[in-house]
Amino acid sequence: MSLSDYIVNMKRCIRCSYCKWTILSQIKSWRFARGCPSEGFTKFHSYSAGGKMAVSLALLEGRFNYNDRLLDIAYKCQLCGACDVACKVCRYLMEPLETMRELRTKLVEDGQLLPEHMLTIEGLRAEDNMMLKQKKERGKYLEDSNVKNVTNEKAEVLFHAGCRLSFDEELSTTARKALNILKKANVDVGVMGKDETCCGGRAYDLGYRGEFTKYAEHNTEAWRNAGIKTVVTCCSDCYYTFKVLYAKHGFIKNVEVLHITEYLKRLIDKGKIIFTKKVPMKITYHDPCHLGRLAEDYVPWNGEEKKIKGQIVTYEPKKPIRRGAKGIYETPRDLLKSIPGIQLVEMERIKEYAWCCGASGGVKEAYPEFALWTANERIEEAESTGAEALVTACPWCERNFLDAVNSDGKNMRIYDIVDLVDQAM
């Protein structure tokens, strides 16, 4: 689909501003009521999903030519999907997130490139990662690990580290810990090591469909060649890309994609992981967008609008609706609660209506101040619970929280779930 396929959507936007807020029924305070980081940061309506729908329509109607402000509106957004969920509480016909994605795709197709992203994409093209690092460095985190390489050994489970965990020295310990846990649980796990490439998900978000396609084709072919049936990752971005985007664009078949939390939960349920140590800590859990509301299974649909009762818009066949109902929410929580000593307290905005960490959608790369602002909002929310630590399940979230804590001198400890599981074993 392209942006113009969404014109009908744009015209059906009612500018109700639901997209700016967390789900209205779930609001518990004035302080933590907002849902949209873009509108929250800039304060202009234009940056909300409703604003972007209007801007997209204006662009397609030729009301203005390409300009810097348009790029700013399009890209100062994590594509976190909070707007999409909030909108769909009351609307079946709307696809704000898809519209915003297609806007970016059109911009890129028309050569309207954000300079900050160009650097990242050039790096991706050259070195197969989003971290502006050399690909030969990938897999360095595995140096002292004794783990199979699936390019030349069979393994039942492929552990995909992802760009962030592969190259972020501080966070790469999460990948090592995850592998160790899996090995301790006698999982037949392997990695691609330095042959691992980017999932392509972030390129997709930036509007670079070509790059996404390239990596999707490459990865799925590599899995096929290696006989991979199960892919496990700690990175929620990669998880979402494999599970949803690859499925949506027809790249993935017969491969089960699991987030590390899902896999660990299975192992715990089977008694293959036993916690022997207490981790006495009051924590709160941040739902990564790409593990939560965005990570519902992709259900293919190819249908048409059908009006009933005069003008009621329905779809034939029935169109599945993605509104975050079936994101992965309980599994990480069950996992955390099963760790002895852990006291889990919830923030106000959680699950399908969680506030974004701030890192995704190309924001970390292009708008670092905005990314940190978003993270700080979340950290304040975590602080309001009285928790000592903010735990998440995505290295991009973790990185952005850590950067925010470090820049603001806050006291909040930041962990990945894997860190706590590791501590408890």
Partner 1 sequence: MSLEKDIYQLFEDIVGSENISNDEPILDSYSFQWGSELFRPNGNRFMPRPDAVLLPGSAEEVQSIARICNKYKIKFKAFSTGWCVYAAPYKEGQILLDMRRMDRILDIDEKNMFAVIEPNVIGATLQAEAMKIGLNTHMIGSGCVSSPLAAATSFLGHGPDSLFMGQAAENLLAAEWVLPTGDIVRTGAMGSGIGWFSGDGPGPSIRAIVRGGSGARGAMGVFTKCAVKLYPWPGPTQLPVEGTIPAYGSTLPKNIRAYTIAFPDWKAYGDAHYKIYNAEIGYILHRQYNKLGEDLAPAFFKMYIDPTKTIDDLEEMLEKPEIKKLTEELRISTQIVLAGMTSRDIAWQEKALEEILAETKGWKVAAMSDPEMEKFTLLYLIRLGFKGLNMVFSGGYRGSFSQKGTPDFALKYRPIAADVLAKHQKTGLIVDSGGDSMMGPGGGMGGGGHIGFEQFCFYDPSDLSSINGALEYFEDAAGTAKKLGLTSGYEARIFETRLSEEEKRTAYLSSKQPALFKYQRKIKDIFDPNDLGDDQYAVMPRDPNGLEDVAS
Q: Which residues bind partner 1 (CB under 8 A)?
A: 7-8, 10-18, 21, 23-30, 33, 42-46, 50-55, 57-59, 63-64, 67, 69-70, 73, 85, 87-93, 307-319, 321, 323-325, 352
CA distance 376 to 196: 32
Q: Please state the closest distance from residue 40 (CB atom) to partner 1, in A.
A: 10
Nearer to partner 1 by Cβ, of 90 and 274: the residue is 90
Nearer to partner 1 by Cβ, of 62 and 271: the residue is 62
CA trace torsion 37, 97, 351, 44 (10° rounding):
20
The amino acid occupying position 70 is L
Nearer to partner 1 by Cβ, of 277 and 301: the residue is 301
Nearer to partner 1 by Cβ, of 139 and 327: the residue is 327
Q: Please state the closest distance from residue 97 (CB atom) to partner 1, in A.
A: 15
Q: Please state the closest distance from residue 146 (CB atom) to partner 1, in A.
A: 44
Q: Please state the closest distance from residue 252 (CB atom) to partner 1, in A.
A: 25
Q: Please state the closest distance from residue 29 (CB atom) to partner 1, in A.
A: 5
Contacts of 225 (CB under 8 A, 6+ apart): none
The residues that bridge with 282 in the sheet, in sequence order, are 343
Nearer to partner 1 by Cβ, of 87 and 421: the residue is 87
Q: Please state the closest distance from residue 344 (CB atom) to partner 1, in A.
A: 18
What are residue 154's phi and psi, to 5 degrees? -80, 140
Q: Please state the closest distance from residue 347 (CB atom) to partner 1, in A.
A: 13
Q: Please state the closest distance from residue 326 (CB atom) to partner 1, in A.
A: 9
Contact 358, 364 (CB under 8 A): yes
- Other CB atoms within a 10 A radius of the CB of residue 88 amount to 24
Comparing CA positions, the residue from 55, 49, 54 lying closest to residue 36 is 49
CA distance 162 to 177: 15
Contacts of 79 (CB under 8 A, 6+ apart): 97, 100, 101, 205, 360, 361
Q: Please state the closest distance from residue 371 (CB atom) to partner 1, in A.
A: 17
Nearer to partner 1 by Cβ, of 51 and 162: the residue is 51
Nearer to partner 1 by Cβ, of 31 and 224: the residue is 31
Structure tokens that stand for 1 in this block = 């689909």
What are residue 384's phi and psi, to 5 degrees? -65, -20
Contact 204, 212 (CB under 8 A): yes
Nearer to partner 1 by Cβ, of 67 and 407: the residue is 67
Structure tokens that stand for 241 in this block = 């890309």
Contacts of 69 (CB under 8 A, 6+ apart): none
CA distance 176 to 165: 9
Nearer to partner 1 by Cβ, of 276 and 302: the residue is 302
